[in-house]
Structure 1
Amino acid sequence: MKGFSAHIGYLFQELPLEHRFAAARDAGFRMVEHPSLYALPATRVRQLLSDCGLGIVQSSFPAGDIARGEKGFAALPDEIERFRASVSVSLDYAVQAGIPALHCMAGVRPPGADPERMWDIYIANMRVAAEAAAERGVLVLIEPISSGSIADYFIEDPLEAVRAITEIGASNVRLLFDVFHATMIGSDPFAFIRDHAALIYHVHIADHPGRHEPGTGIIDFDRLYTTLEEVHYDGFVGCEYSPRGGTLEGLGWMKRAGASRHA
């Protein structure tokens, strides 16, 4: 692994979004990520990254109206046109901002929706997104999200994501593997990493339970880092956790992880 990425949707929330880039740099990170940067012009994001000497790992396609409970819409039967209209706009933004990969959220299952129909819609929509993204040199990411975090999220099990990547059949569709979500559903994250390392573009961490800093729960992070090294994982590990207090006060775990793993 190359080091740790600051997920500035979770970390440094005590600061305005534009100030979180410099805060991440000052805390020792050299990579950041965020689930939705669209409130900032793409050129502003690129400038902030340049000014702070930072790279960016990933962001996302629009997730919809969070206040109404929307968590993406790639699998939703009534949102096909809306999803496809968002593809070019999102990819243009990513290219202008210098974002190499976009997470595409599947959405929350509507009451009474047919799961098989949703699956077919999801695969078809993801193929459209993947083809358009390939033309722009952008990766499309799938992240399984546990129902304990988002009730009825369409892609929960990492093995469902593996199946989707296989069916989509595009080399630029990769996995965003979240160790916290996998642990939440009782999956073995270490075995999954060993079995599917070739599909993983990025890894997210938070301890379980609580979704706080590593070392506050039951996950064996030393074993995680060793497993990533054993499979020759060449990406970053994203810190997507909710600090128990201030962000800086909670970063001691990163020093304890060892200088060789510090970003």
Structure 2
Amino acid sequence: MNFAACIEWMFAGAGDDLASRIRAAHAAGLTGVEIHLWRENAQTKPLDDIERALHDTGVRLRSFCVEPRCSLVDPADHDRVLAAVADAIPVAQRFAGAGMVLASGFTRADVPVQEQFDAVVAVLKRAAALARDAGTVLWLEPVYMVVGGQRMFVDTIGRGLDIVAAVDSPALRLLADVYHSAQTGEDFAAAVGDRMGLVAHVQVADTPGRHEPGTGDIDWTAVMAVLREKGYAGEIGLEYFPSMADAESLAMTRKALGIA
């Protein structure tokens, strides 16, 4: 398995310039990189520079987040969701089909769970149709976050896979973040079950602290055994805050994950 680094957080020693961080990731032997929002505060990130660095190094942009972040749970937000996906599609096409990442938005108080589930499925069916027609793919990411007492509606891998299965489109897959899954206390192996084919990408960070695998409490030997036994063959996304220099950080991660 190869690594894809979140260059928003990693390789900071290369400077603030994302293109320089891509080159640093390549020098460290990584084959992929990821970014968060492709457009932030109405300012598009330096996509020309990013594209040039990717071309020069052969590194691939694996994913980016759809912007602005909208609620999949609230039907009043669905037109904004679809507009945001439409805006992101040319970026995904530009970067060899990079996954367009969506989170669900927060639960809606006093709204039945099934109604919220159905709302997410409904808008993702429409969004996946847009992505499919454009030759791109959406990644639904379960995110553990609590604001004002409300959790994200999709915060477990299990529920995320239920939704991906219900949408039933090749243009929608799951981004399985082991850190967020561990925060919810779900059983990783049971959550994935026999549905690894619906998982496009796996991200890692340890808990507590969201640092390198090996710095916290997650049983990485067990996690990696699940991935191998269930046939995951993709890259491992490194979405953590490094707590040490790049070389040491990657060495610790490789050791914890059992990846030479």
TM-score scaled by length of structure 2: 0.86
Q: Which among 58, 62, 80 is matched to residue 63 of structure 2?
A: 58
| Alignment correspondent of 1:221 | 220
1:47 counterpart = 2:52: yes
| Alignment correspondent of 2:164 | 165
More divergent stretch after superposition (6-15 vs 81-90) = 6-15
Shift of 1:140: 1.1
Please give the alpha-carbon distance, in whole angstroms, between the structure 1 residues aligned to 2:2 and 2:146: 28
CA contact (8 A) 2:61 2:95 kept: no
Q: Deviations over 1:225-256 (max 9, x none)?
A: 23222222110111111112444442221443
Q: Secondary structure at the match of 2:194?
A: helix
Please give the alpha-carbon distance, in whole angstroms, between the structure 1 residues aligned to 2:45 and 2:53: 10
Q: Secondary structure at the match of 2:154?
A: coil
Shift of 1:257: 5.2
1:10 counterpart = 2:15: no
| Alignment correspondent of 1:88 | 86
- Residues 196 and 156 of structure 1, relative CA distance in 2, 3 Å threshold: same
TM-score scaled by length of structure 1: 0.85
Q: Deviations over 1:24-54 (max 9, x none)?
A: 1122211111122333254443222111220
Q: Which among 128, 133, 136 is matched to residue 135 of structure 1?
A: 133
| Alignment correspondent of 2:259 | 261
- Residues 88 and 41 of structure 1, relative CA distance in 2, 3 Å threshold: farther
| Alignment correspondent of 1:205 | 204
Q: Secondary structure at the match of 1:195?
A: coil
Please give the alpha-carbon distance, in whole angstroms, between the structure 2 residues aligned to 1:179 and 1:232: 16
- Aligned-residue identity in percent: 27
More divergent stretch after superposition (191-200 vs 106-115) = 106-115
Runs (4+) of structure 1 moved beyond 4 Å?
A: 110-117, 148-151
- Residues 63 and 243 of structure 1, relative CA distance in 2, 3 Å threshold: farther
- Counterpart of 2:60, as a letter, is G
CA contact (8 A) 1:5 1:33 kept: yes
Q: Which has the higher contact order (CA 8 A, sep 6+)?
A: 1
Unaligned 5+ segments in structure 1 are 65-71
Q: Which among 136, 144, 147 is matched to residue 146 of structure 1?
A: 144
- Counterpart of 1:173, as a letter, is L
1:119 counterpart = 2:117: yes
More divergent stretch after superposition (111-120 vs 99-108) = 111-120
Unaligned 5+ segments in structure 2 are none
More divergent stretch after superposition (124-133 vs 76-85) = 76-85
- Counterpart of 1:27, as a letter, is A
Please give the alpha-carbon distance, in whole angstroms, between the structure 2 residues aligned to 1:212 and 1:149: 22
RMSD value over aligned CA atoms?
2.5
- Residues 232 and 60 of structure 1, relative CA distance in 2, 3 Å threshold: same
Q: Which among 70, 74, 77 is matched to residue 76 of structure 1?
A: 74
CA contact (8 A) 1:77 1:118 kept: no
CA contact (8 A) 1:148 1:184 kept: no
Please give the alpha-carbon distance, in whole angstroms, between the structure 2 residues aligned to 1:104 and 1:50: 26
- Counterpart of 1:231, as a letter, is K
CA contact (8 A) 1:145 1:153 kept: yes
CA contact (8 A) 2:73 2:120 kept: yes
